[in-house]
Amino acid sequence: MPSKHIEIKTFKLAHSSDDTVKIEHVEKPYGEYSSPVVSIAIYSHGKEKTAEVEIPYENIEEFFKALNESVAMCDSIPRSELHGELNANVGGGA
């Protein structure tokens, strides 16, 4: 029996014009007796899959913990205010 993909959510990827992230639950990803996984895929222009990771549900809590640690580390790094050098809310062009 082939794998079954159930779409959970699709959303626009930040800092891109039309790339998307698609989250899916996948039943029998590697054959009849394989355990389900979560698929996280990036689609370029909303159509062409350019990257994908499949995470077994047994690793989801550890995955969430690592994501939260990554966000905390990112938040701890000082950065300049977005477009602060322009004293404006949006960037300029050349």
In a domain, 85, yes or no: no
pLDDT value at residue 13: 92
With vertex at residue 25, the alpha carbon angle to CA 72 and CA 20, rounded to the nearest 5 degrees, is 60
pLDDT reported for residue 57 = 98
**pLDDT beyond 70 at 72:** yes
Residue 75 forms part of a structural domain? yes
The domain of 26 spans 4-79
Q: Is 92 a member of any domain?
A: no
| Predicted model pTM | 0.78
- The mean of the pLDDT values for the chain is 90
Q: Which among 77, 34, 79, 38 has a CA at the least distance from the CA of 56?
A: 38
CA-based torsion, 69, 70, 71, 75: positive or negative:
positive
What confidence tens digit (pLDDT) does each residue in 55-65 have? 999 999 999 99
Residue 26 lies in a domain: yes
Q: 72 lies in a domain?
A: yes
The reply to whether 89 falls in a domain is no
Average pLDDT over residues 66-91: 81
- Structurally, how many domains does the chain consist of? 1
